[in-house]
Amino acid sequence: MKISYLWLRDLAKLPAGPLETAKALTSMGHAVDTVSKLWEDHIFDLDITSNRPDCLSAIGLARELAAYYGTNLHTRPASPVEEGQRIENLTTVVVDAPDLCPRYCARVLTSVKIGESPAWLKSRVDAHGFRSINNVVDVTNFVMLEMGHPVHAFDLDRLGGHMIRVRKAKAGERLRTLDAVDRLLDPEVLVIADQKEPVALAGIMGGELSEISAGTTRILLESALFDPMNVRRSSKRLGLRTEASARFEKGCDPEAPPRAADRVCHLLQEMGCVVARGYLDVKSATRPPAVIDLKVADVHALLGVEIGAEECARFLDLLGFTVKLNGAESLQARVPTHRVDVSSPVDLIEEIARFHGYDRIPAALPPLDSEPEPLPAHLALEEDIRDFLVGAGLTEVITYSFVQPPADPAGMVPLRNAISERTHLRSSLAAGMREAALHNINNGHEDFRFFELGHVFPAGQRESAALGILVSGGATAEPTWRAPADRPDFFEVKGIIEELFERVAAKWVAFRRRDGTAAAEISAGGAAVGWIEPLTIDGRHPAYLAEINLDALALRIGRRVDYAPVVRYPASWRDVSFLVDESTEYASVVKAVADAGGRELGSITLIDLYRGDKLPGGKKSMTLRLRYQSATRTLTSAEVDELHARCVEAVATLGSVRR
């Protein structure tokens, strides 16, 4: 909100200059974002928190400053001289919805001459961001700025039946508001109506029909209270936020309506209008001001600093509370009506802290009386994965949790109120990673290996943690003087995942070909945990994408380190080469050999895989290097030969062994 320094100075008789005043406001919780010079004045742009609607006004801020500096708030005259007819003879006010309009004050002015505002008024509303329109509108805006209470002026002669009825809109009713928009009203909207139709959106904006115009001679002045919730809902639904609705929706001083009306009348009277006798004040029972009991010990306990009862009482008194001290232990404070935010002891403690000064509260460390807990396992797993992958040369990316969906968004959860083409929650990390890849490729960088750790939201399932890997570059980042740059390779991605799974001690990891594709499904402990897929980015750039469901993986990891004694007996190696059908998977060979070799077969390593013209059609050649070792003794050459013969025999059941 914008407010003039000179205005505040006049109202609060400030002893300080603009910059110092801005600091004081900030220290009280009314953050001054900028101070800009305007002629001889300075305009503060403030960030008023939503709990302090009373400070959306010159008097509200001046009241805070007067309390801060211990000066007196200058009151403004609001005592119009009434003449002529009584208001009851000129208009009537009926409130059909007292729950949504607890108070409605009306005044009538006659002999109105619509014209330009005096210079002081014009410049004041102008400095606060309002366009000067005419004397009446300017005065109502001025009073809203001054007192924080929105007031609306109707052309009395354009109100059907010269009356006001506060009611909910009827289905199908329309209103053309002052912003020249024809609005269809729904029955939840509270309107100000005349005898037959709505003339204003209560607390939000007036209608064109009853607008003050050059020919207006009689005015009905509305100064009311509206239910904050209803104003807020209506203004949201209508997509119409105004200075008035911004104030009503946060709550207004219940005692303000007659005062604000009188202040407007007073100013308009100075401009030649006649104020009719009396005013209408339709109100339902309003709550009496809150009275709060506060224990001084609670102030000390919550703030951690000793502030005596007298001091607490002094602060509250400065802020307009009516305080009664009960010895040194407690006090009772009656809340001023403009403080709609204060209703409980802790609210009072905040006021005391604010005036004591947050920076005068000492610093101390809390007692360590709670036992710290270890990092939860799933977070520890993520940290381990992050470290491993970064060490393995992958770079972490973070992509949006919502994505642009594919043509068929089945399996994805849509956002109800997206703000861009990212309309669906991601069900996989793939889309975001592809997007990151595309961005880099479009910027001339094709060689990268990325990973992301984040949540995914598949439709109909629980949100879960996932790991995504996208490999576009080969093993070496760039061509070197020893070797050219590599292409991305399935077996490297698989190698990264195998190594990762081994590090986190995943159980029984297996890769299975996805039928008819070059993709692989990954399982651990017998359950599906992820996949690897080849893909082409932008139609040209080969890459591999993998995704692991970390929640599923976390359930299938074992104890991290299970010590096994180091084998001290020597190992022997034997190789076996053989031809098998192309359709024979390596895994089946390994299984056959492992079963045959038993405990003394230490490891199986594929050291050569050959395909080519020299082989019979449909065949491939493999060479395995087998390591034989016993944990309990040295194997003799004859024993090794016998073991190896068994393994070779097993191989022979799958293909032809080359001797």
Partner 1 sequence: MDLTDIEALEARFNGELQACADDRALTALHDAYLSRKRGHIGEIMRQLPQVDPSVRGAVGQRANALKRRVEEAIEKRRAELAEAAQQAIVDLVDVTLPGIRPRRGFIHPISQTRREICRIFMQMGYSIEDGPELDTEYYNFEAANIPRDHPARDAQDSFYVTDDLLLRTHTTPVQIHAMERRKPPLRIIAPGRVFRRDATDATHTPMFFQVEGLVVGKGISFAHLRGTLQTFAHMMFGPDVKLRLRPSYFPFVEPGAEVDISCFLCKGNGCRVCKDSGWIEILGAGMVHPALFDRVGYDRKEVTGFAFGMGIDRITLLKHGIEDTRLFFENDYRFLSQFRS
Q: How far is the CB of 377 from partner 1 (least distance, A)?
A: 12
Nearer CB in complex with partner 1: 374/526: 374
Enumerate the β-bridge partners of residue 522.
Answer: 511, 530
Burial bucket for residue 557 (CB in 10 Å: 0-12, 13-18, 19+): middle
Nearer CB in complex with partner 1: 51/269: 51
Measured CA to CA in angstroms, residue 381 lies from 394, 396, 465, 508, 528 at distances of 17, 15, 11, 18, 18
Are residues 210 and 164 in contact, defined by beta-carbon separation less than 8 angstroms? no
Q: How many CB atoms lie within 10 A of CB 542?
A: 13
Q: How far is the CB of 530 from partner 1 (least distance, A)?
A: 20
Q: How far is the CB of 48 from partner 1 (least distance, A)?
A: 9
Nearer CB in complex with partner 1: 19/606: 19
Q: How far is the CB of 222 from partner 1 (least distance, A)?
A: 23
Evaluated on CA atoms 457, 460, 464, 466, the torsion sign reads: negative
Q: How far is the CB of 641 from partner 1 (least distance, A)?
A: 40
Structure tokens, 271 = 């401009």
Task: Classify 421 as helix, strand or coil.
Answer: coil
Measured CA to CA in angstroms, residue 25 lies from 36, 37, 354 at distances of 15, 17, 11
- How far is C-alpha 48 from the geometric centre of its chain's CA atoms? 20
- How far is C-alpha 174 from the geometric centre of its chain's CA atoms? 35
Task: Classify 71 as helix, strand or coil.
Answer: coil
Q: How far is the CB of 462 from partner 1 (least distance, A)?
A: 8
Are residues 492 and 568 in contact, defined by beta-carbon separation less than 8 angstroms? no
Q: How far is the CB of 536 from partner 1 (least distance, A)?
A: 19
Nearer CB in complex with partner 1: 105/335: 335
Nearer CB in complex with partner 1: 350/600: 350
Nearer CB in complex with partner 1: 23/514: 23
Nearer CB in complex with partner 1: 553/593: 553
Measured CA to CA in angstroms, residue 31 lies from 24, 75, 218 at distances of 9, 25, 42
Q: How far is the CB of 452 from partner 1 (least distance, A)?
A: 9
- Which of 54, 554, 108 lies closest to 320, judged by CA? 54
Nearer CB in complex with partner 1: 117/399: 399
Q: How many CB atoms lie within 10 A of CB 64?
A: 26
- Which of 215, 219, 202, 235 lies closest to 140, judged by CA? 219
